[in-house]
């Protein structure tokens, strides 16, 4: 047979066997529970002969999943590399590898035994997002043969992510603190985060907005049909249900609750009252604010899952103090920001301001070495690229000379 035959096997069967070993409530959980109970009873030493079985269970389940991942990679499954790395199928629902990296990673897995695939394996405490970022830089290093170039890609991803989130965290910290000061000194109502544009368009911009921008925004808002403006920015007339004048000041939960109560008083059913209350809350929030709430909820969930994947908090903190604090504070910031957007009050705004400051500072500390070293790494990468271009030009010139010599009948 001239063509390489594919390995026979069903990856789902291998993954099912692995799940019987380390799935929730399966062998590994039962072993852990048995050892825990034995410790409480003071007879843990009686189970010493079973201790190797714990290690065997973990290693065997991981090996089964990796074997299944190799079969998946041969069949073109885009998640094969992540499964090979050590993630479980349930960890990967709704997730995908970047297509360019997927090709390199899956090729490495499909040729397991011929090419080095150790670089793909998940490191202790590494979350799916961490793994994605590391694999992208490692793949560049593998393809180029230059470790520094891979580090440049990885550092660029981290620095770009920091630059896209940290300013927003610091802005929330500053705006939230300013709002609280005005609230307690002047009695002003607090405004929900993410409603700055709505305030500008309705001629009530925050004090830090330049006058020229405020005038232009108010002019655009005045020319926008009120129905469209209300859909985007929220309907102010409903804010009265929460005792406020403007939609961006209103507690959406209170608006919905009071609207539902009014409907119940008018004889509506519980379901009808709930639906009416929810709809009124959404119309009060407006599309921009509601979309911001949805995005913040998603960010909180993703961040919380990443922290969960880190494992034991004490061990995770020991592995990477600044990085772990950054992740945990990021989850806290997004959660408090969500609460502040739904119900702006001193507690939610204060929590968002404090967690935003902690998240911003810890993110900078976590990435500071990368920021300092990045220019030098980029310069080295440029030198490497220049060298490769020069080598390519030299080979091209040599090839041209050989071709010319071959075509010259007098040579």
Kindly report, residue by residue over 198-229, the tens digit of the pLDDT: 999 999 988 888 999 999 999 999 999 999 99
- Greater confidence (236 vs 9) lies with 236
pLDDT of the residue at 5? 42
Distance CA 408, CA 158 (A): 55
Token couple for 184: 């307690």
- How far apart are alpha carbons 190 and 349 in whole angstroms? 8
User: Considering the domain boundaries, does residue 274 fall inside one?
Assistant: yes
Q: Tell me, what's the pLDDT at 24?
A: 75
Query: Could you tell me if 208 and 297 lie in one domain?
Result: yes
Residue 142 domain-assigned?
A: no
Q: Which residues lie below 8 Å from residue 134, measured CB to CB, with a gap of 6+?
A: 123, 126, 154
The answer to whether residue 393 is domain-embedded is no
Co-location of 245 and 367 in the same domain: yes
Distance CA 307, CA 316 (A): 9
Q: Is the residue at 386 inside a domain?
A: no
Q: Which residue has the higher pLDDT, 410 or 99?
A: 99
Whether 167 and 101 map to the same domain: the answer is no
Question: What's the rounded mean pLDDT across residues 81-102?
Answer: 71
Report the pLDDT value the prediction gives residue 284, as an integer from 0 to 100: 93
Percent of the chain with pLDDT over 70: 77
**Cα angle for residues 219, 221, 227 (degrees, 5° grid):** 150
pLDDT, residue 98, reads 66
Q: Which of 74, 95, 122 is the last residue of a domain?
A: 122
Same domain, 165 and 110: no
The residue among 263 and 309 whose pLDDT is bigger is: 263
pTM, rounded to two decimals: 0.68
Q: What is the mean pLDDT of residues 192-202?
A: 91
Lowest mean pLDDT among 127-141, 177-191, 240-254, 256-270: 127-141
Task: State CA 290 to chain mean position distance.
Answer: 20
Note the pLDDT of residue 351: 94
Residue 372: what pLDDT? Answer: 74
210 with 294, same domain?
yes
The reply to whether 210 falls in a domain is yes
Q: Which domain holds residue 311?
A: 160-373
- Same domain assignment for residues 164 and 101: no
282 and 340 assigned to the same domain: yes
pLDDT score of 382: 60
**Average pLDDT over every residue of 106-123:** 67
Task: Give me the pLDDT at residue 99, please.
Answer: 64
| In the predicted structure, residue 2 carries a pLDDT above the cut 60 | no
Q: Which of 27, 85, 97 is nearest to 57 (CA)?
A: 27
Backbone torsions φ then ψ of 115, nearest 5 degrees = -115, 155
**Which DSSP letter does residue 153 get?**
H
Last residue of a domain, one of 103, 122, 141: 122
- In 272-374, DSSP assigns E strands to none
pLDDT attached to residue 334 = 93
Q: Do 43 and 174 reside in the same domain of the chain?
A: no
Residue 96 sits in the same domain as residue 164:
no
Beta bridge partners of 115: 112
Domain count, the chain: 2
Cα–Cα distance measured from residue 226 to residue 232, given in angstroms and rounded to the nearest whole number = 10
Q: Is the pLDDT of residue 254 over 90?
A: yes
Q: Are residues 275 and 177 in the same domain?
A: yes
101, 153 Cβ separation under 8 angstroms:
no
Residues 217, 329, single domain; the answer is yes
pLDDT of 338-354, one tens digit each? 999 999 999 999 999 99
Calpha distance 197→218 (Å, rounded): 10
Answer whether residue 131 shows pLDDT above 50. yes
- pLDDT-based confidence at 294, cuts 50/70/90? very high
At 320-338, the pLDDT tens digits run 888 888 889 999 999 999 9
Q: Is the dihedral of CA 189, 192, 193, 198 positive or negative?
A: negative
Q: With respect to residue 304, please indicate whether it lies within any of the assigned structural domains.
A: yes
Q: What pLDDT, on the 0 to 100 scale, is given for residue 4? A: 43
Same domain, yes or no, for 250 and 311?
yes
How far is it, in rounded angstroms, from Cα 121 to Cα 109?
A: 10
Domain boundary (59, 93, 122) is at 122
Q: Is residue 1 part of a domain?
A: no
Whether 321 is in a domain gets the answer yes
Would the pLDDT of 168 be above 50?
A: yes
Q: How far is CA 408 from the centre of its chain?
A: 62
């Amino acid at each position: 047979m001239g063509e390489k035959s594919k390995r026979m096997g069903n990856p789902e069967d291998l993954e099912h066997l692995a799940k019987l070993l380390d799935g929730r409530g399966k062998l590994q959980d039962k072993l852990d529970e048995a050892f825990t109970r034995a410790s409480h009873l003071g007879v843990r030493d009686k189970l010493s002969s079973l201790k190797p079985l714990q290690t065997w269970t973990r290693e065997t389940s991981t090996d089964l999943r990796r074997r299944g991942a190799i079969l998946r990679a041969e069949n073109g499954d885009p998640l094969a590399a992540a499964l090979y790395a050590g993630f479980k199928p349930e960890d990967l629902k709704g997730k995908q590898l970047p297509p360019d990296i997927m090709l390199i990673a899956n090729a490495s897995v499909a040729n397991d035994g011929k090419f080095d695939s150790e670089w793909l394996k998940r490191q202790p405490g590494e979350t799916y997002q961490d793994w994605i970022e590391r694999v992208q830089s490692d793949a560049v290093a593998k393809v180029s043969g230059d470790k520094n170039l891979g580090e440049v890609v990885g550092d660029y991803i981290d620095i770009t992510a920091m630059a896209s989130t940290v300013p927003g965290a610091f802005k929330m910290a500053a705006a939230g603190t300013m709002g609280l000061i005005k609230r307690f000194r002047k009695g002003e109502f607090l405004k929900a985060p993410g409603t700055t544009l709505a305030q500008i368009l309705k001629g009530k911009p925050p004090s830090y907005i330049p006058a020229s921008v405020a005038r232009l925004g108010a002019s655009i808002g005045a020319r926008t049909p009120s129905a469209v403006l209300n859909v985007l920015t929220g309907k102010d007339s409903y804010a009265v249900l929460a005792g406020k004048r403007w939609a961006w000041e209103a507690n959406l939960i209170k608006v919905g609750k009071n609207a539902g109560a009014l409907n119940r008083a008018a004889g509506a059913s519980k379901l009808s009252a709930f639906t009416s209350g929810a709809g009124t809350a959404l119309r009060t929030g407006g599309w921009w604010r509601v979309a911001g709430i949805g995005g913040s909820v998603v960010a909180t969930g993703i961040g919380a899952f990443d922290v969960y994947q880190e494992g034991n908090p004490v061990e995770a903190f020991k592995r990477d103090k600044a990085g772990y604090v950054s992740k945990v504070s990021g989850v806290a910031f997004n959660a408090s920001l969500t609460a502040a957007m739904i119900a702006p009050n001193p507690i939610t705004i204060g929590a968002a301001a404090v967690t935003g400051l902690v998240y911003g500072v810890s993110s900078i500390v976590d990435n500071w070495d990368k920021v300092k070293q990045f220019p030098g790494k980029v310069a080295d990468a440029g030198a490497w690229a220049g060298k490769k271009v020069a080598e390519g030009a030299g080979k091209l010139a040599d090839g041209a000379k050989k071709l010319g010599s071959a075509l010259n009948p007098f040579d």
